[in-house]
Amino acid sequence: MTTPENKTGQPLVHLGITRPEELSTLFAELRGRFDADCACAHDESSWKQFRDAWLGRKSGVLTQITENWLKPATLGLKRVVGASLNELRAHVESQIEARRIAIESRGEESSLLRERIDLSLPGVIRPIGSHHLIRQVFQEIEDIFVSIGFSVVEGPEIETPYYNFEALNIPEFHPVRDDMDTFYLELPPSSDKNAAPTPLLLRTHTSPMQIRTMEKQKPPVRVIVPGKVYRRDNPDATHSFAFHQIEGLAVGTDITFCDFTGTIEYFVKQFFGPSVKTRFRPSYFPFTEPSVEFDVSCPFCGGTGTSTASRSPMETSSGGTCSKCKGAAWIELFGAGMVDPAVYGFVNYDAKKVSGFAFGIGIDRLAMLKYGIDDIQVFFQNDVRFLRQFP
């Protein structure tokens, strides 16, 4: 606690006070110091020290004023000192009592609050969230590819037809666009009446980032592109208008189909386990040549097509045929291939000097296969009972 400056221990004459008008400044300063001390008295102990410092009979501030200022004061000052002292005493006593009442009131409130709270009750257990299964699969795939030198890049979900189609060697009216029917956005009119509006759409794949990345970066390029994509599919157990994909791209000098197959096989064995087998089937994609569909031996029946090798009864059908691969022993995973040289023309790459491969992996499909999920819709329904299975 602060103590008043030791002026009250000296006679007025020693303080240079000889005129009545000088006393008002002295008592105003003293009152200000009292108010500051009063604000610092927050509990019973500090209040008692504060009270004794000002009202103590032997060494209290008011006692010192009486002994050192009032009694030895000259006749011309005694009346003014007495009046000022009485006014200060009234203020000090009233504020000290008010502070006591306030402290006691707070103590009673705290006591009542402690009585109302039953500290023996168990605490509230708040559940800790976790990553969604799709996010977990994303992270697992990203870790695998990052470990072999790929980088992760992301791009916009709203795209232009140029990046989503034309620059990927899918010109307007190309029949493959029918399979990628998507959602086009209705834009507000432009302030420039002469400017042709730029159409926008929700991307149908993460492949546009192939072009955006190669526009900004010269070879070598090794990236994967995770993200959400959209197509006008009617929702059912295996289709959704919104789903997830990871696009992969590797471009450099002397990249061959063998490099491509080695990379994909490494990824699959890391993701599904070393016992799975892989195969390629010829296919067609506008932005790769040659193009392939990539299959993996069914991890649920061990590639036999029958239920005898299934991991659990939940993964089989009643007829002895594996319920996952329908007896085919193989499961189609994703499409891939060597980058079509025509694509390099859109990014000013020399097709005679560089080569590369690209692939597009459906994350929802991989998650369904790995964790035995038979309906893609559960990824979007936010059913806590489902989500709690994948902490």
Per-residue pLDDT of 354-375, as tens digits, reads: 999 999 988 988 888 888 888 8
Query: What percent of the chain is helix, strand and coil (3-state, nearest 5)?
Result: 40, 20, 40
Structure tokens at 45: 């102990």
* Strand 242-252 versus strand 288-297 pairing type: unpaired
| Cis peptide bond upstream of 220, omega within 30 | yes
Phi and psi angles of residue 338, each rounded to the nearest 5 degrees, phi first: -80, 140
d(CA 183, CA 130): 31
Q: Which of 64-68, 110-114, 188-192, 300-304 has the weakest average pLDDT?
A: 110-114
Q: What is the predicted pLDDT for the residue at 349? A: 92
**pLDDT over 80 at 21, yes or no:** no
- Assign 116 a pLDDT band (cuts: 50, 70, 90): low
**pLDDT over 50 at 312, yes or no:** no
- Assign 14 a pLDDT band (cuts: 50, 70, 90): confident
d(CA 92, CA 70): 18
**pLDDT over 70 at 128, yes or no:** yes
Q: Which of 82-91, 162-171, 302-311, 322-331 has the weakest average pLDDT?
A: 302-311
Query: What is the CB neighbour count within 10 angstroms for residue 51?
Result: 19
More confident residue, 318 or 273: 273
Q: What percent of the chain has pLDDT over 90?
A: 19
Q: What is the predicted pLDDT for the residue at 319? A: 52
Which pTM does this prediction carry? Answer: 0.61
297 SS3 class: strand
- Assign 113 a pLDDT band (cuts: 50, 70, 90): low
**pLDDT over 90 at 34, yes or no:** no
**pLDDT over 50 at 8, yes or no:** yes
Residue ranges in the chain assigned as alpha helix (H): 21-39, 44-55, 61-65, 75-116, 133-146, 161-164, 208-216, 257-272, 341-344, 363-371, 384-387
Q: What is the predicted pLDDT for the residue at 191? A: 67
d(CA 233, CA 156): 21
Average pLDDT taken over every residue of the chain: 81
Q: How many CA atoms lie within 13 A of 260 on its CB side?
A: 29
Q: 152: which residues sit within 8 A by CB, 6+ positions away? A: 142, 145, 146, 223, 224, 225, 226
234 SS3 class: coil
Q: What is the per-residue burial (b if ≥16 Cβ within 10 Å, else e) of 107-126? A: eeeeeeeeeeeeeeeeeeee
